[in-house]
A = this chain, B = another copy of it.
Amino acid sequence: MATPEVPKTCKVILADTIAKKLLAEVKDSLAKVQSESAAKPTLAAFLANDDPAAAQYAEWSKKTCEENGFDFDLRKVNKENLEEAIVAANQDDGVDGIIVYYPIWAGNQQQDRYIQETVALSKDVEGLCHTHLFNMYHNVRFLDPPANLKKSILPCTPLAIVKALEHLQIYNPILAYGNRLFGKTITVINRSEVNGRPLAALLANDGATVYSVDISGVQLFTRGSGIRQPRHQVLDKKDWGLKDVLPLSDVVIGGVPTDGFKVATDLIRDGAVCVNFSSYRNFDGPAVKEKASIYVPSIGKVTIAVLLRNLVRLIANRQVRQ
């Protein structure tokens, strides 16, 4: 008996497609902030670990920078010299933005956190300085209220996922800016301080009902019934797990960086949107394509485009008259 032909219903969207659109926008905004005679903007990138993934990411970043009118200055330094090297870059007018590849002190997250705070706010292209993080968690979009001319910087990977969801039209532009996820239910698997928790907060601040899942359990991020709060609130969902939240979710975002972890496809809702931001793919690709309406297998190239977008924002912020 012939197997009946199964129509392909899942749309696979590659990071490249989303990144290209963002890079075109970056090009336009760069032209606006850059006078003709000015030198190319320079991103100083500090590599102080031996992680081959970091080296690979730096390589991609360099290529994207050079293709889009930016200078990428990779600085390999010892852990011990990193702090002084960052301070020097903070003071160097030839450096427009600073990126540091983490983790540096494996097993000592506090020391990595110290380094993040060492980067000058005006050069924090990754949005990891406390002021940027505080603004993000409090849904504050500018650094200089009430003038509101200098935009606060959002962390690259969470913002890359927001940009991906905008591209996928999960953000509904018919709704008011800031409420465009109202009515959407989203599961984020990963609650790290650099990725999962900021992402859950960003999505909830835009109106979504967000289930944030990690090994310690499930937290619900919302802006309250009818999104009546100015910023998100968090509620522990005791005894809840993926089996409870996946069937409710319009969008499932996987970001657990281990190859042993896979999202159970049978729990995903028919027609859901699935996005992977882990270096390991947290979805079973062939199976998820039989169930999802949209699948984004990776996000890395979007993250690099967002990095350049943030860099242009830093330059624009510096041009605001005090």
Residues of chain A whose beta carbon lies under 8 Å from any beta carbon of chain B: 6-9, 11, 13, 167-169, 172-176, 179, 182-184, 207, 209, 225-228, 230, 250, 269-273, 290-291, 293-294
Contacts and interface: CB of A to CB of B under 8 A. Distances in A.
Given A9-B207, A207-B9, A290-B226, A173 B169 contact: yes
Contacts of A225: 270
A272 B175 CA distance: 12
Contacts of A9: 176, 179, 182, 207, 226-228
Contacts of A230: 7
15 contacts: A7-B230, A9-B182, A9-B227, A9-B228, A11-B176, A172-B293, A174-B294, A175-B293, A183-B270, A207-B271, A225-B270, A226-B270, A226-B290, A226-B291, A250-B250
Contacts of A290: 226
Contacts of A176: 8-9, 11
Nearest to A181: B271
B6 A228 contact: yes
A293 B228 contact: no
